[in-house]
Amino acid sequence: MTSAHSEQLADALLAPVRPANAFEETVGRLLQLIRLGVFGPGESIPPERELAVRLGVSRDTLREAIRALADAGFLVSRRGRYGGTFLAEVLPAPGSVDHSDLAAEAEPITRAELDDALRVREILEVGAARMAAGRTFSAAERESLWTRLTDIRVAVGDDYRRLDSRLHLAIAEAAGAPSVVALVADNRMRINRLLDRIPQLERNIAHSEEQHEAIVIAILTGNADAAAVAMRAHVEGTATLLHGFLD
């Protein structure tokens, strides 16, 4: 059962998420409650209907977030008269939800290192998207960028991370400043090492694909403001998940 103290803390921490990254922020908000110890091991969290209202998300989005956290080992769903969603008795440590050899052997990430990588990414990639949208492309350049987008739509498994990186590097290249490509590539290596420490969430991948399309269309139609806004929303969604799982 949920204690009165837990409910009071949840009231203080649960607030509507931003719609641009509803799934990612829902996962992040639930992880915040877990990491801060609002609910104890084995304790139930508020009912789906209540959480959906507090967070301002659909029941489907909430269920996807709960399912993702269950798959990652944080939550347990039980059916029956005394069913509901409960915290696992033993919670994964930050950065340990992916039990690959890479994650197991990796050094701990500090909050400062995480913030630095994410802030550099936002500066570089939002700026690159805006600059790219201000350029005039040849037919071959337009086709190349669209092909990178098309490739990632059919990517599966390990290919997704590689093709995702290729698309982001292509956007940086489209900005027309070769030095920016090198900086984005270096930062992307840092980001990928962080992403290797958290699970791939299917809903996040689907959402990312929608954001990728919005970014590329804005660039190819010359809408610099829309390209920057779409890229900022995209990198903020990733940042939310990384902070949620790794902080």
H/E stretch holding 75 reads strand 75-78
Distances (CA, A) of 43 to 38, 51, 168: 10, 15, 41
Q: Are 152 and 161 in contact (CB under 8 A)?
A: no
pLDDT by 10s per residue, the chain, length 247: 455 545 655 666 678 898 999 999 999 989 888 876 777 788 899 899 999 999 999 999 999 999 999 999 999 988 877 788 999 988 886 655 544 444 444 567 889 999 999 999 999 999 999 999 999 999 999 999 999 999 988 887 767 888 899 899 999 999 999 899 999 989 998 998 899 899 989 999 999 999 999 999 999 999 999 999 999 999 999 999 999 999 8
pTM, rounded to two decimals: 0.80
Q: What domains appear along the chain, each with residue ranges and CATH number?
A: 4-87 (1.10.10.10), 101-246 (1.20.120.530)
Answer positive or negative: Cα dihedral of 51, 56, 59, 64.
negative
CB 166 within 8 A of CB 181: no
- Residue whose tokens read 């400043």: 177
What's residue 90's pLDDT? 85
Phi/psi of residue 238, nearest 5 degrees: -65, -40
What pLDDT does residue 15 have?
Answer: 82
The distance from CA 55 to its chain's CA centroid, rounded to whole angstroms, is 17
Q: Is residue 62 within 8 Å of 26, Cβ to Cβ?
A: yes
pLDDT at 10 (0 to 100): 67
> What is residue 26's predicted lDDT score, i.e. its pLDDT?
94
User: What are the φ and ψ backbone dihedral angles of 86, each rounded to 5 degrees?
Assistant: -130, 155
Q: How far is CA 13 from CA 54, 95, 236, in A?
A: 10, 23, 20
Is there a contact between 241 and 27 (Cβ–Cβ < 8 Å)? yes
